[in-house]
Structure 1
Amino acid sequence: MRVLYPEVNEKKVSNLLTLKGKDIVVVGLQPWYYHVGSNCKDIASRLAEHNRVLYVNKPLNRKTWVSKTKDEGVQLHYDLVKESGNKVEKIKKNMWQFFPASVIESINWLPSTSVFKKINYVNNKRFAKDIESAIKELGFKDIILFNDNDIFNGYYLKELLSPSLYVYYCRDYLRGYDYWKKHCDTLEPELIEKADVVVTNSEYYANYCSSYNASSYYIGQGCNTRLFNADTAYEMPVDLKNIPYPIIGYTGVLDIERLDEEIIAAIALQYSNANIVLVGPEEENFLKSKLHNYSNIHFLGRKKLQELPAYVNAFDVCINPQVKNEITKGNYPLKIDEYLSMGKAVVATRTEAMRMFEPFTYLSDSPAEFADLIEKALTEDNDKLRTERIVFAGSHTWEKSVEKLSAIINKYLS
């Protein structure tokens, strides 16, 4: 597929690769207090090396506010703002997280998108007012607003906050999800169109966004190779010690809209002498999966990001058994870089976004082929292949991605 978005001329912008002395406000789908990694958190952390960054946690909605059961992070947000209102908390030098106090209405159930937009404007006004209080408290001026894929909460923020530059970061095809698609089919194209700049983590998304905004750029994807490091001596996680080898492992959210349970079932049946280990939180739609009935499939639950390398290190083969749909087609699979950075053999579903990984992974087109490729991955693995995987993953750094982002922002601010 021909990439239609404009390229950044690296020779011309070599002196612009570092963004310095700016005040940046980051909004997005994932709060800072969630103990899982995210592109946005990595980007924000690196931007804070030379700029001041306010990382805004998403506002609590009415449904969450009145719920009697809240997860740990949300409970923290709830307790803080209930006690003292808006809360700014320092993360590190030049970087703060913000807990907005306003409660937004839960309106995604509305059948009419036009009605949704009107009430969403009220929600955005509440959110923007909170953000303005944090901006004032920190003394931020001429802010750059970076929106990490938050279509609803970020829809009117350009108009309400009047940033010097509004950057929309597209890293997921939210229109493919049941929750989002009702209103996203209208709102995301409109949001992309009105953004000053759009950046993406996959070429597929850059092409998608360029149909609505010519100022759409692919900035690549980073991987924390210092954390996922094959040279580190890892202790065996306690909950793996009693699981016999060989271990076929997956790390990440368990979600029926993303993972193909037929592939995982086929692996469990074909390799009855092996154990499949799934590390990550389960979405509600996965809790009722038939995979819970297999004795050689183990669900180890959510782990902190810092714990994941020890699990990956213990796997004989790493897998990413994605279902093929609009969501996964162009989605950059960060976990593949993390697996490869550890030198691991990887078997994955063949998607548009996986094409660049083909020389270093085993790509499958069916559940049966996926199971067969695991055997190939086990038997072919050697030191030469492990080294090649590590070198390839090492070329995908957050430093390079943020350099591209910085060059683009500098270009549009000049």
Structure 2
Amino acid sequence: MLKNENIIIFSSDDWKSGLKSSKYHIAKHFSRHNKVLFVNSIGLRNPGINKSDISRIFAKLFSFFSGYHKVSDNLFVCTPVVVPFHSFRGVKSINANLLVWFIRLMMFRLSMKRPILIIFMPNVKDVIGRLNEKCVVYYCIDELKGYREVDRNVFEKDETELLRRADCVVTCSAELNEIKKKSNPHTYYIPHGVEWAHFRSALNPQLPIPRDIEEFRKPIIGFYGFISDDWIDFALLDHMAVVHPEWSVVLIGRSKGDINKRLKTANIHFLGIRSFEELPAYNKAFDVSIIPFVINQLTMSSNPLKLFEYLSSGKPVVSVDIPEVRNHAAWVKIASSHEQFVRHIEECLLEDTLECRLMRSDAMRNETWENRIDLLSRIINEHTHEQ
């Protein structure tokens, strides 16, 4: 584990986004022995003229003028402000200077010198070489150019330069690893981890089930995560709900747009965001947990963090067929069609036992974030250059 270092994490989402993604866990674990500055996302796409984007702009302005937010003794969160039209050449230059100025200011206020940079967003590449850093890590967790609203040409140009300039690259999936190591030989594969003890608590008979999900008709088929067209196969959800109107299909998480307009059947329920601390209790309520991803470039290179959390909670899991899930085929039923997905859920409902739930959870005991951070620390130490 790294100790007594200054670490700046350039995130691809915001600390208060409602999703406790890999960036959150990496920041929390590193902050136990290091000073960590978590930099909220500067975004990848140009904003639209809509309520959601306008609200986000004002929220970021408020966060910017508030300075940094202290989460704990060693963990701080800040929000840079940049011109939100990333595709224009002049704007990119302005944004690079604004970002460097802002980060230098935060470093001064927090007494951070010679930081380690962990970059999740290629469009912050221009900070490299301007913060007196000792190591640059490109941490690639998704094929971000797969998002529909991302300018692929701009993204690919930025990522090509970041891959060239990074001291090392870390990917969360074997698919991403094969792609990125062609551009940087110092590329490593580290799958996502899990807060195992936290999710194991779903097997505690004393853990109460939240009232808002307890009222739904059993069985409950559950999912949590980011709910959008880029990730979710809504046709699959509709198929499940129509074939089995007696099932309650429950979705938890952050959504893009008005998700209720996409849900066509009465037995699909959207609960919105629930805190990370509450997730084991909701997992306990699920009879079967699902990964109903749409198959595209984004999802085929993903490593669903929720898979480890579902299994640590002891849940039977049904997933679409994506490469990283195949690595856990002993514990997951994998479907290649909508019909097979439904059949696998039916099988899980018939086959699941307490013994099976304990075995699934036990299988995840060593897949912890502690172990992942130890490996990441060794990689960073290997590629750190002293002044």
**TM-score, normalised with respect to structure 1:** 0.86
Question: In the alignment, what sits opposite 1:179?
Answer: 149
Alignment of 1:3-402 (within 5 A): 18-59=1-42, 77-81=60-64, 85=65, 87-100=67-80, 103-108=81-86, 110=87, 116-148=88-120, 150-152=121-123, 154-180=124-150, 181-229=152-200, 230-232=202-204, 233-284=206-257, 286=259, 288-289=261-262, 292-402=263-373
1:363 aligned counterpart, secondary structure: strand
* Counterpart contact for 1:86–1:130, Cα < 8 Å: no
AA paired with 1:258? W
Shift of 1:99: 3.2
Q: Percent identity among equivalent residues?
A: 30
Distance 1:72 1:118, change over 3 A: closer
Distance 1:195 1:176, change over 3 A: same
* Counterpart contact for 1:346–1:361, Cα < 8 Å: yes
Distance 1:368 1:277, change over 3 A: same
1:357 aligned counterpart, secondary structure: coil
* Counterpart contact for 1:34–1:73, Cα < 8 Å: no
AA paired with 1:58? S
* Counterpart contact for 1:312–1:342, Cα < 8 Å: yes
Structure 2: runs of 5 or more not aligned: none
Shift of 1:331: 0.3
Q: Give the Cα–Cα distance (whole angstroms) in 2 for the partners of residues 395 and 74 of structure 1.
A: 41
Distance 1:356 1:234, change over 3 A: same
Shift of 1:78: 2.8
1:347 aligned counterpart, secondary structure: strand
Tell me the alpha carbon deviations over residues 258-315 of structure 1, each in whole angstroms, 9 at most, x when there is no partner: 11112111211221111111112221285542xx220111111122222222111101
Shift of 1:212: 0.7
* Counterpart contact for 2:18–2:254, Cα < 8 Å: no
* Counterpart contact for 2:289–2:317, Cα < 8 Å: yes
AA paired with 1:318? S
Distance 1:270 1:399, change over 3 A: same
Shift of 1:172: 0.6
Shift of 1:159: 3.2
RMSD of Structure 2 on Structure 1 (CA): 2.4
Structure 1: runs of 5 or more not aligned: 1-17, 111-115
Tell me the alpha carbon deviations over residues 172-196 of structure 1, each in whole angstroms, 9 at most, x when there is no partner: 1111112222422322222112111
Matched pairs, number: 382
1:179 aligned counterpart, secondary structure: coil
Q: Give the Cα–Cα distance (whole angstroms) in 2 for the partners of residues 283 and 392 of structure 1.
A: 34
Shift of 1:236: 2.2
* Counterpart contact for 2:114–2:131, Cα < 8 Å: no
* Counterpart contact for 1:61–1:105, Cα < 8 Å: no
AA paired with 1:24? I
Q: Give the Cα–Cα distance (whole angstroms) in 1 for the partners of residues 258 and 363 of structure 2.
A: 35
**TM-score, normalised with respect to structure 2:** 0.92
